[in-house]
Amino acid sequence: MLGDISHAEHIYIAVGYTDMRKQIDGLSAIVQQNFKLDPFSNSLFLFYGRNTKIMKALYWEGDGF
């Protein structure tokens, strides 16, 4: 469940399909390696799979994702 995201400074949406089997470590690696961004920043990252009804969000809340 996604917590309070109203304090997020930026919202990034990954273009294309993301493997929905990836967990937090895999998604944060995508943010670091592919986007050259810090997953621990005050930003919300959204990922979609082939089924566009499914979305994963990555947001650092200070004590965990």
Residue 1: which pLDDT band, with cuts at 50, 70 and 90?
low
How far does CA 48 lie from the centroid of its chain?
Answer: 10
Query: Is 20 domain-assigned?
Result: yes
In 5-65, which residue ranges form alpha helices assigned H by DSSP? 24-33
Query: Is 3 domain-assigned?
Result: no
pTM of the predicted protein model: 0.89
pLDDT, tens only, 9-65: 999 999 889 999 999 999 999 999 999 999 999 999 999 999 888 899 999 988 888
The token pair at 12 is: 């990034």
Query: Is 29 domain-assigned?
Result: yes
Query: Is 65 domain-assigned?
Result: no
pLDDT for position 56: 93
Query: Is 21 domain-assigned?
Result: yes
pLDDT for position 5: 81
Query: Is 53 domain-assigned?
Result: yes
Query: Is 39 domain-assigned?
Result: yes
The token pair at 18 is: 């993301």
Domain that holds residue 39: 10-59
Query: Is 64 domain-assigned?
Result: no
pLDDT for position 2: 64
Number of folded domains that form the chain: 1
